[in-house]
Amino acid sequence: MPMPEGLSLSLEPATADELEAARVFFAAPCNFFYAAQSLEQLPAPRGLELAFAGRSNVGKSSFINALTGQHALARASNTPGRTRQLNFFDLGGHLTLVDMPGYGYAQAEKKVKEDWQGLMFNYLRGRPNLRRVALLMDARIEVKPSDTAVMDLLDKAAVTFQIVMTKADGLKPGPLARKEAELQGLARSHAAGFPQVLVTSARTSLGIPEARAAFAALAQNAG
């Protein structure tokens, strides 16, 4: 599929043309094609990769489904922390979406580091085509030690991460603005943090078009 024109990496709000180009970009067929539970099982790099990470029950599956306009592309597990593999999805041949396991179910920073020092960290550190990690955080829940532990690992792996607030419809405007400012400050305090925080709700579609524009611009820039 040809790369849509009119996409930008600017931190300025996306224009109507950029939002429409991103809608077309993410309207391409998106299909699961690979799962890896060890470094040796990783598929050969092919094109740009965008990974999604977040604490268990943050709404990661719902967010990926909302981005792609599909209801069951990424399936949520009823058992937090059960899935310990990387799932790869092809978006129209021009972007690979990588669903990473949820973290934080053990409620312990040490446990997060142990889990992510293996396959997850090796994937982050050694994947040459990984362009960015979308780090999802529940707008209604305070930042946990497991969140900052993963940010530290992303700093160490030298992989840019962008914070995505999920379930933003659960907060009123005032608390939501304060939460966004808090997370922007947190992102700026990390070497690998991208300064723009995306505010979203998969349930109401709040911020989903803007998230599409931000991620589609990565692919255009790489192309």
pLDDT tens digits, one per residue of 32-82: 999 998 888 899 998 899 999 999 889 999 999 999 998 878 664 444 444
Give the model confidence (pLDDT) of 75-127 as tens digits: 644 444 445 789 999 999 999 999 998 887 655 556 555 656 678 888 999 89
2: confidence class by pLDDT, cuts 50, 70, 90: very low
Residue 7 lies in a domain: no
**9 is a domain residue:** no
Q: In this predicted structure, what is the pLDDT of residue 5?
A: 38
Distance CA 177, CA 174 (A): 5
- β-bridge pairing 130-138 and 49-54: parallel
DSSP letter for each residue of 145-187:
HHHHHHHHHHHHHT--EEEEEE-GGGS-HHHHHHHHHHHHHHH
Structural domain boundaries, residue 129: 16-222
Q: Does residue 2 belong to any structural domain of this protein?
A: no
Burial environment of residue 13 by CB neighbours within 10 A (0 to 12, 13 to 18, 19 or more): exposed
Is 143 part of any domain?
Answer: yes
Q: Is residue 66 part of a domain?
A: yes
Query: Looking at per-residue confidence, does 194 or 79 come out higher?
Result: 194
CATH number at residue 90: 3.40.50.300
Q: For the whole model, what pTM was predicted?
A: 0.88
Task: Return the closest-CA partner of residue 51 out of 119, 5, 111, 138.
Answer: 119
